[in-house]
Structure 1
Amino acid sequence: MRWDIGFLFLTLLAEIVGTVGGFGSSVFFVPIANFYFDFHHVLGLTAVLHLASNVTKIALFRKGFHRQLLLTMGIPSVVFVLLGGLLTPYLSSQLLELFLGIFLTIFSLFFIRNPQRALLPTTKNAVLGGVLSGFSAGLMGTGGAIRGLTMAAFNLEKNVFIATSAAIDLLIDASRTVIYAKNGFVTQDIIYAIPVLIGISLIGSGIGKWILRYVDQNRFKQITLFLILGIGLLTLGKIIFAKI
């Protein structure tokens, strides 16, 4: 596996933008890392990075948790991340990349065109959001965008939103890390990188928290959506040009 300054810088950037945008770092980190590593190794790397990242966020944004969402989203998220993780060995890396590119592109385009679109803050939507975000995280490495969209309906205070999202994500990552390790996705190189990933998550989450004091989060989310669109198109372009 190749570790270089460019990759580490992009990982830090993904952590910062993911914290401020509220979608989590994986929506940026997974497609970025995919340009450096095999997709299955990216899944293992993402799970380990997220474990460190979410512990950091819980510490930095510990202003309380939304207990109902922890249950209604957290439990189905854990169940379905296990299902998604168990399916990954049976799908090719290229097919998973294709799913990721399509998902990021459609998701971002929909909410760029419909900025006021929101879900209703119901238990049913919370459970469905947990199911979809968990399955997506297990299968493609990223489910934060779906979770962020679902949680936005509950109009949580900023610190509570991030802390609750991080707590749910921590449950997801702890579960899928076990599955990915069993599948051989968590290699020795990734284990050796854990101290570096912890350092990046500490710095990135800290910078993100500082930025949130001065930046309007709704406006930043619009910028984030365009970034997600760009990454989705780059991911699809990579697959298309690989076939030419």
Structure 2
Amino acid sequence: MDFVFIGIVASLGSGLTFFSGFGLGTLLMPVFALFFPIDIAIALTAIVHLLNNLFKLVLIGKKANLKTVFRFGLPAVLFAFLGAYLLGTLTDIQPLYTYRVSDKEYQITAVKICIATLLIFFSFFDLIPKLKRLEINTKYLPLGGALSGFFGGLSGHQGALRTAFLIRAQLSKEAFIATGVSIACFIDVSRISIYAKDLWQLRNSLNYPMLVTASVMAFIGAYFGNKFLKKITINTIQVVVGILLIVFAILLGIGII
């Protein structure tokens, strides 16, 4: 049942990214967090995210706008390292508060509070109409890359900011998607290089069949997302995702998850 659940989420999240410019990491990371520590969940999500983006590059990568990729992508790569490093630092901090409910112990930690805050922030991009339509002048593309890369390295949630900045780059729909995918690949490679040490140390305890399942189902979602690119609206999906993100963030912040 765990594999079915993760497979469905990965497939839906991957398809969603074709319409919104973000979604796979937003949906998949909380699911992985149900089975793994939060930092490892972020790292595993990054692996699936990268493999899925590489697959999407095969489908539409030739339509990417290279000038925009480099203006946005280079700062994103640099700051993704910083965000990923900060994630490791926050993980090493001792629990801020421990409490018990019945016979079960829960811990409130710095990294969980940080990630919960980011999740709530990024949920606003799905729920608040003005943020859904947020557009930022193209001269700020390097700044957008820095912010997107930093939050991508820290929590895996960089697509919403990337979309907000790239939407003003005067790209066609296909070029907008392909450019975003190209930039996401840069960020994923950067943060995975930082996560690699922890992943290697825990290599014997990771659930590789679950990781493979998520990756394959994400490929399937990306394939069908590309097929239905011009036909599907995501407004309702965005609202549902935003609400679920807030619920998960609250549970994560108080240590339940």
Deviation of the 1:88 alpha carbon: 1.5
2:136 corresponding residue in structure 1: 119
1:229 corresponding residue in structure 2: 242
Structure 2 CA distance, aligned partners of 1:241 and 1:82? 28
Q: 1:107 to 1:181 in 2, by over 3 A?
A: closer
1:85 corresponding residue in structure 2: 84
Deviation of the 1:31 alpha carbon: 2.1
* Match status 1:208 vs 2:225: yes
Q: 1:127 to 1:186 in 2, by over 3 A?
A: farther
Give yes or no for contact 1:97–1:235 (8 Å, CA) kept in 2: no
Give yes or no for contact 2:12–2:221 (8 Å, CA) kept in 1: yes
Q: Give the 5 Å matches for 1:138-177.
A: 138-177=153-192
Gaps of 5+ in 2: 93-108
Structure 2 CA distance, aligned partners of 1:155 and 1:34? 37
Whichever residue aligns with residue 43 of structure 2, its letter is G
1:183 corresponding residue in structure 2: 198
Structure 2 CA distance, aligned partners of 1:70 and 1:132? 15
2:54 corresponding residue in structure 1: 55
Per-residue Cα deviation, 1:56-87 (whole angstroms, up to 9, x for no partner): 11111134221221111111111011111112
Structure 2 CA distance, aligned partners of 1:162 and 1:212? 10
* Match status 1:14 vs 2:13: yes
Structure 2 CA distance, aligned partners of 1:5 and 1:99? 29
Q: 1:106 aligns with which of 115, 121, 143?
A: 121
Deviation of the 1:104 alpha carbon: 3.2
Q: 1:97 to 1:211 in 2, by over 3 A?
A: farther
Whichever residue aligns with residue 7 of structure 1, its letter is I
1:129 corresponding residue in structure 2: 144
- Identical pairs, percent: 25
Superposition RMSD on alpha carbons, in Å? 2.5
Give yes or no for contact 2:123–2:243 (8 Å, CA) kept in 1: no
Gaps of 5+ in 1: none
* Match status 1:5 vs 2:4: yes
Whichever residue aligns with residue 19 of structure 1, its letter is F
Q: The residue matched to 2:76 in structure 1 has which SS?
A: helix
Whichever residue aligns with residue 54 of structure 2, its letter is V
Give yes or no for contact 1:84–1:137 (8 Å, CA) kept in 2: yes
Give yes or no for contact 2:23–2:159 (8 Å, CA) kept in 1: yes
Deviation of the 1:224 alpha carbon: 4.3
Deviation of the 1:92 alpha carbon: 3.4
Structure 2 CA distance, aligned partners of 1:15 and 1:56? 11
Structure 2 CA distance, aligned partners of 1:196 and 1:225? 24
Give yes or no for contact 1:19–1:25 (8 Å, CA) kept in 2: no
Structure 1 CA distance, aligned partners of 2:160 and 2:124? 13
Per-residue Cα deviation, 1:95-136 (whole angstroms, up to 9, x for no partner): 3333333233334436624144321122xx111111111110
Deviation of the 1:210 alpha carbon: 1.9
Give yes or no for contact 1:96–1:139 (8 Å, CA) kept in 2: no
What TM-score, normalized to structure 1?
0.85
Whichever residue aligns with residue 250 of structure 2, its letter is G
Give yes or no for contact 1:100–1:232 (8 Å, CA) kept in 2: no
Give yes or no for contact 1:12–1:201 (8 Å, CA) kept in 2: yes
Whichever residue aligns with residue 67 of structure 2, its letter is Q
Structure 2 CA distance, aligned partners of 1:18 and 1:67? 20
